[in-house]
Amino acid sequence: MVENIQAVAQEIEAAQLTNAAELEQFRITYIGRKGRVAELFDNLKQVAPEQRREVGQQLNALKNRAQERFDQAQEQLASTADTAGDTGFDFTLPPVPNTLGTRHPLSLVRREIVRIFERIGFNVAEGPEIEDDWHNFSALNFPENHPAREMQDTFFLSEDKDKLLRTHTSNVQVRLMENNQPPLRSIMPGRVYRNEAISARAHMVFHQVEGLYVNKGVSFKDLKETLYYFAKEMFGQDTKIRFRPSFFPFTEPSAEIDISCFICKGEGCNICKGSGWVEIGGSGMVDPAVLESCKIDSKVYSGFAFGMGIERISMLKYQIKDLRLFTENDVRFLRQFEGVI
């Protein structure tokens, strides 16, 4: 029995307690209820009665020594952890670099558009994305049988079709004219929604920026000069602009806006489909009926409005061929814009 006590005492002194795993194994092996010391105590009844007192004292000393070694090692490991900060950290590992994010290309283009128009006196106006029929259609001179009022073209939120997701940011123009008196000079960037099949060239949610200028004596010449300035600032000083007659319910006369292709310089390429021109949006003089709907005297005031897709501008500026890339959150695509400021 004495030999066994001495052998266990030597094991306790020789035990390596340099980490948490070794410390836990030591506790189980020597201090636990089924450990070596507890086993020796169970065998004490086999010792001769006249020797039990002496052997019992040796066992108590062994038990105390095992507990003492455990406590000392535990305290030392805790002190080391406090000094190092994290016991699980390997200081030999290479550092993990802090990766910085970047702005989304749509945010970059939107910010640039806003800055360009701010330089010529436009401010930014915003409005709700959930809209009613009046602000989205009726006040803008849309007839009741217009295709945009059908479920297949618009996301309606109620059975009576009075609540819908706005199909353009023109609703902000209506609210601006209803609540303010001319002169008005604002742009309206924001998300819009249309019930379209998602493809490389179309999406159910996209971004627009529209502009409105209402004052006395506003003419089509003011519209042309404003958009000409924008095109040169956005796409380069060599950019040319042209207007093609078109129709919109809320403007009269109306025109589509084209710019000279800045890729091929008008010679023809796959971006402009060989024409030398690319379309960027629509524009026109605000229809007098729209002004009257917003309680603005059309005999005193006139104005122009324009609108363009931010995705469209981004695709042209950065030569992006698939509209879906803007919403897929593919970091390989987004990292291409890390250097853009």
Return the pLDDT at 153. 87
Mean pLDDT of 42-47: 76
Q: Inform me whether the pLDDT recorded for 111 exceeds 80.
A: yes
Higher pLDDT, 300 or 330: 300
Mean pLDDT of 164-176: 95
**pLDDT bucket at 338, cuts 50 / 70 / 90:** confident
C-alpha distance from residue 185 to each of 64, 120, 176, 226, 257 (Å): 87, 10, 10, 12, 20
The closest alpha carbon to 305, from 172, 126, 192, belongs to: 172
The widest CA-to-CA distance across the chain, in whole angstroms, is: 125
Alpha carbons within 13 A on the beta-carbon side of 98: 0
Higher pLDDT, 85 or 135: 135
Q: Inform me whether the pLDDT recorded for 224 exceeds 90.
A: yes
Return the pLDDT at 83. 60
pLDDT tens digits for 55-66? 778 878 878 888
Return the pLDDT at 114. 96
Q: Inform me whether the pLDDT recorded for 127 exceeds 80.
A: yes
- Check if the beta carbon of residue 243 is closer than 8 Å to that of residue 255: yes
Higher pLDDT, 122 or 319: 122
Mean pLDDT of 198-219: 93
Return the pLDDT at 103. 86
Burial class (CB in 10 A: 0-12, 13-18, 19+), 10: exposed
pLDDT tens digits for 70-97? 888 888 887 776 665 555 667 788 887 7
Higher pLDDT, 145 or 85: 145
For 10-14, 107-111, 242-246, 252-256, which range has the lowest pLDDT when averaged over its residues?
10-14
Indicate the length of the chain as a whole number.
341
- The rounded distance, in Å, linking the Cα atoms of 253 and 221 is 12
What percentage of the chain has pLDDT greater than the value 70? 96
Label residue 169 left, alpha or beta by phi (over 0 means left) and psi (-120 to 50 means alpha): alpha
Query: Locate tokens 């819908």: which residue?
Result: 164
The closest alpha carbon to 242, from 263, 254, 228, 262, belongs to: 228
